[in-house]
Amino acid sequence: MADKDLKTKWNLTPGGWNLEGVPAYQDEKRFTQVGRSVPRVDGPVKVKGEAVYTGDMILPGMVYGKIKRSTYAHAIIKKIDYSKALELPGVLAVITGEEAPNKWGIVPQAANETVLAIGKVRFYGEGVAAVAAVDEETAEAALELIEVEYEPLPVLLDPFESMARAGEVLIHEDSPKNILHEGEQVYGDIDKAFAECEYVLEREFHTNYPQHGFLEPQTALASYDPQSGQMHLWASTQIPHYLHRQLSIVLEIPMNKIRVTLPAIGGGFGGKGEASIAEFVASLLSRKIGRPVSVTFERNEVFFTNKGRHPCHMKVKMGLDKEGYIKAIDFDNTLDKGAYSGWGMVVLFYTASMLHLPYEVPNVRFRGRSVYTNKPSTGAMRGLGGVQPRWALECIMDELAEVMGISPYELKMKNAIESSHTCINNMFVPHSEYKKCLETAVEKSGFLEKHGKLPFGKGIGIAGGYYISGTAYTLYQNYKPHTSVMIRVDTEAGVTLMCAAADIGQGCNTVMAQMVAEELGVHYEDVHVQSGDTEIGAFDLGSFASRLTYASGAAIKMACVEINQKIKETAAGMLGVRADQLVLKNREVYSMYETKKRIPWEKVVEAYTSINGSLVGLGNFSPPRRKGIDIVTGNRVQGANIGHSPTFGFSAQVHEVEVDVETGRIYVKKVTEAGDCGTPVNPMSVDGQVEGSIMFNLGACLYEDQKLDANGKHLNPNFHDYKTPTTMEMPEMDTNIVESYDHTAPFGVKETGEGAVQPTFPAITNAIYDAIGVRFYNLPITPEMVLKALKEKKAVEASSK
């Protein structure tokens, strides 16, 4: 059905929802299912331990795969001899890199990873061979029998060293400067702007090398049928589609001969936002031996293959005019890419786009480069590209407010954007309650009464942030809809939503059930969700960029239009009223004017299907497309469309800390958060996401860091030595959902899973400054750093007396 037809018949927007300015009985915001704190549809089986994860699955004839990993961070592979491994009873096959030479990578323009290393290894723990054997023990024993001869190369672990020594050592032959990509974006005239500024500060910030810490390690089970040439892969992934696509490239099998299915998934946070070697190896081995092959990473393999957050080395200069309005930002960022490209180019330009919100900035210069090093690759991690620049910017604003002699709250309120804002890079923000977030967090925490007034060792800090609610582009050149859904209604299965969205634990299956129920006028308990399967479900781009609630919501709305129209027409005949005056709510169909005229929804479905058979609705969603330009000059700017999104979520946080000035330990005691997530579809889930977000980055701010020795070998590839905070470190939390409704969004929704990670680093850092008068520019902020800084401060104070 064309959009045009929908509009004339039902007076709906192209996305398929009602317009504003309607009487209460037609009010689109009078939800019954959306906005309800309902238990997760996947909750009971997970609590009972009955959820089936990929690693729980056993197929008839299934065998096990294991990966032999490099013991050098940078070396030429001279020879691999696996003859002894093949002789071990129970070993079925061994593969090496040459078996699958096609390069994979989520950004196809830069794809440069092979399943197993070919000719050279570029990080410690890189896969060099893989074994299939009848049991895991035999597979592990076989790995020991594979002999690999290496010729070590110099190991480059620091991006600056990597650039400096590029003349002498190259990590990738086709990247002559050891740089994956470098870019510059200039908007306005920053030199002129800085010259006119009253307050200018320049600082350097360095972030750390944390990892996601999801509980379920990467796991894959592949079953190849030699008869039909069909591959079925069960995998713990966030991106069934991109995985599907890359499997097709690596295996040289058409996509329609590959099916990707997601069992229960134990978290991802971006780490499963790229294909995993486990998936390729399981598939290759299964094809080779014609039996199902299961591959589960050990925890150290999760660390070896990493794809965690990029360490960023940022030089930031910010200028304000006399009144405190931000006039210019000059930002220079060197990102540590690790060994392979992955999401690299995208992350580089996300750090650029983050400069334009949530404050109005008329002049911006970004210069950045993503640099290869001999470390496990960095990739996507909750709040991709935002967390590092947000930390730098919110900290520098804290300093600038101090220089100006005003509260950081005042400075933020002054510069915060409002709804219908167009950034200088043409990024459009349809709706923002950011100011309300700031106000709420400040009011509820008593920030103004406490800031600067607490005793030495206690402090309070504030920061804000935002994140996208989906992206505007696919990662490969294509403008197809980002999400398609199919809804089936009949008397046999009730309501079933079929899609390929990936519920990785974030709860999208529950939220989608609520949205389908809302739109059809039934209850969320009535909706079955079939998701995470590329064969059963219609197309979906994946779980990343906080896109699902918005994208699925829009597609669901569209799919329901068709179904509701038929339900209404059928009911109209049964009730003798006009179809366009019918309301679908609470499992009933009734006239909005003569409310006595009503009939159970189920009865209508029965009537319809007994004549026509099952009802099916299709819906899809394509994000709005805008040019990446400088809106003043109209000139195209490289990478400027990265960061565009249909809408944006916002968060403000106030953190209260106590610093033990003798041991240096930092205790975050209380966090007051206020978030603009549009309509909270499931408020309980929003609270969970926000609390989880805060703990996630509290960890990376104060504890988490992957450490390597001088040879690039991991020192802490386990949860024993890689320290995440525990529930003991969880502060008291007061999370608030501010009143917000984005009229351009389905059900008024926005993201909530990544916006709330943004303010955590700077709010803690600023609170530490308030507590002990020391500003930190390196992460994580450890007790040792605190003690050292306090000693230095004492020495300076003593000498100035």
Partner 1 sequence: MFLNHFEYFAPKTSRETLELVSRLGNKAKILAGGTDLMVLMKAKAISPEYLIDINGVEEFKGIVCEEGKGAVIGANTKLAEIQFSEELKAKYPALAYAAGEVGSSQVRHMASLGGNTCNASPAADTPIPLVALGTKVVINSLSGERELLLEDFIQNVRKTNLAEGEMLTNFILPEPVPQSACRYTYMGRRDAMEIDIVNMAVNIELETDGETIKNVKLVMGSVYPRPLVSKEVPPLLIGQKLSEALIEKAAEAAQGEAKPIDDIRASAEYRREIVKVLARRLLKETYDAAKGV
Q: Are the CB atoms for 364 and 188 separated by under 8 Å?
A: yes
Q: Which amino acid does the sequence have at 245?
A: R
Instruction: Collapse the DSSP code of 731 into the 3-class scheme (helix H, G, I; strand E, B; otherwise coil) and give the result.
Output: coil
What value, to the nearest 5°, has the Cα angle with vertex 529 and ends 525 and 530? 160
726 touches partner 1 by CB under 8 A = yes
Map tokens 């008839």 to a residue.
60
Nearer to partner 1, 140 or 691 (CB): 140
With CB under 8 A as the contact rule, the residue among 28, 42, 136, 569 that binds partner 1 is 136
With CB under 8 A as the contact rule, the residue among 98, 662, 792, 797 that binds partner 1 is 662
Q: Which two tokens stand for residue 770?
A: 């308030």
Q: Rounded to the nearest whole angstrom, what is the least distance from the CB of residue 375 to partner 1 in the complex?
A: 17
Q: Rounded to the nearest whole angstrom, what is the least distance from the CB of residue 140 to partner 1 in the complex?
A: 6
Q: Are the CB atoms for 82 and 146 separated by under 8 Å?
A: yes
Segment interacting with partner 1 (CB under 8 A) among 404-412, 489-497, 657-665, 684-692: 657-665
Distances in whole angstroms, Cα of residue 108 to Cα of each of 102, 112, 223, 238, 592? 12, 9, 26, 18, 52
d(CA 519, CA 560): 6
Segment interacting with partner 1 (CB under 8 A) among 235-243, 466-474, 606-614, 712-720: 712-720
Segment interacting with partner 1 (CB under 8 A) among 13-21, 95-103, 136-144, 679-687: 136-144
71 touches partner 1 by CB under 8 A = no
In this structure, the number of other CB atoms found within 10 A of the CB of residue 238 comes to: 27
Q: Rounded to the nearest whole angstrom, what is the least distance from the CB of residue 707 to partner 1 in the complex?
A: 6
- The CB-side HSE value for 199 (13 A sphere, CA atoms) comes to 19
Nearer to partner 1, 30 or 707 (CB): 707
With CB under 8 A as the contact rule, the residue among 48, 79, 720, 801 that binds partner 1 is 720
798 touches partner 1 by CB under 8 A = no
Site pattern 405..444 for partner 1 (x: CB under 8 A): ----------------------------------------
266 touches partner 1 by CB under 8 A = no
Q: Which two tokens stand for residue 343?
A: 């999401």
665 touches partner 1 by CB under 8 A = yes
- The CB-side HSE value for 553 (13 A sphere, CA atoms) comes to 30
Segment interacting with partner 1 (CB under 8 A) among 254-262, 357-365, 453-461, 662-670: 662-670
Task: Tell which residue, 221, 54, 72, has the closest CA to residue 132.
Answer: 221
- The DSSP symbol for 225 reads E
Q: Are the CB atoms for 361 and 250 separated by under 8 Å?
A: no
Site pattern 687..706 for partner 1 (x: CB under 8 A): ----------------x---
**Residues that contact partner 1, how many (by CB under 8 A):** 24
716 touches partner 1 by CB under 8 A = yes
140 touches partner 1 by CB under 8 A = yes
d(CA 614, CA 536): 17
778 touches partner 1 by CB under 8 A = no
What is the enclosing helix (H) or strand (E) of 601? helix 601-612
Bridge partners (DSSP) listed for residue 259:
232
Handedness of CA 678, 681, 687, 690 (dihedral sign): negative
d(CA 307, CA 313): 18
Residues 511-540 that bind partner 1 (CB under 8 A): none
Q: Rounded to the nearest whole angstrom, what is the least distance from the CB of residue 726 to partner 1 in the complex?
A: 4
707 touches partner 1 by CB under 8 A = yes
721 touches partner 1 by CB under 8 A = yes
Q: Are the CB atoms for 132 and 293 separated by under 8 Å?
A: yes
710 touches partner 1 by CB under 8 A = no
27 touches partner 1 by CB under 8 A = no
Nearer to partner 1, 24 or 728 (CB): 728
Distances in whole angstroms, Cα of residue 484 to Cα of each of 97, 502, 519, 559, 742? 36, 13, 16, 9, 22
For the chain, what is the total number of helices (H) and then of strands (E)?
20, 28
Q: Rounded to the nearest whole angstrom, what is the least distance from the CB of residue 137 to partner 1 in the complex?
A: 5
Nearer to partner 1, 89 or 254 (CB): 89
Nearer to partner 1, 37 or 778 (CB): 778
607 touches partner 1 by CB under 8 A = no
Distance of CA 375 to the CA centre of its chain: 22
723 touches partner 1 by CB under 8 A = yes
d(CA 414, CA 546): 28
Q: Which two tokens stand for residue 613?
A: 């058979």
Q: Are the CB atoms for 236 and 262 separated by under 8 Å?
A: yes
In this structure, the number of other CB atoms found within 10 A of the CB of residue 424 comes to: 21
Nearer to partner 1, 208 or 752 (CB): 208
Distances in whole angstroms, Cα of residue 624 to Cα of each of 383, 482, 543, 545, 547? 21, 11, 19, 15, 13
Nearer to partner 1, 112 or 296 (CB): 296
Q: Rounded to the nearest whole angstrom, what is the least distance from the CB of residue 304 to partner 1 in the complex?
A: 14
Q: Rounded to the nearest whole angstrom, what is the least distance from the CB of residue 785 to partner 1 in the complex?
A: 10
Q: Are the CB atoms for 472 and 625 separated by under 8 Å?
A: yes
255 touches partner 1 by CB under 8 A = no
Residues 729-758 that bind partner 1 (CB under 8 A): 729
715 touches partner 1 by CB under 8 A = yes
Nearer to partner 1, 139 or 642 (CB): 139
- The DSSP symbol for 759 reads T
Nearer to partner 1, 215 or 715 (CB): 715
Q: Rounded to the nearest whole angstrom, what is the least distance from the CB of residue 787 to partner 1 in the complex?
A: 6
298 touches partner 1 by CB under 8 A = yes
134 touches partner 1 by CB under 8 A = no
Q: Which amino acid does the sequence have at 542?
A: G
Q: Rounded to the nearest whole angstrom, what is the least distance from the CB of residue 705 to partner 1 in the complex?
A: 10
Nearer to partner 1, 198 or 298 (CB): 298
Instruction: Collapse the DSSP code of 624 into the 3-class scheme (helix H, G, I; strand E, B; otherwise coil) and give the result.
Output: coil
Nearer to partner 1, 553 or 664 (CB): 664
d(CA 437, CA 675): 6
Binding residues for partner 1, per CB under 8 A?
136-137, 140, 298, 662-665, 703, 707, 715-716, 720-721, 723, 725-729, 782-784, 787
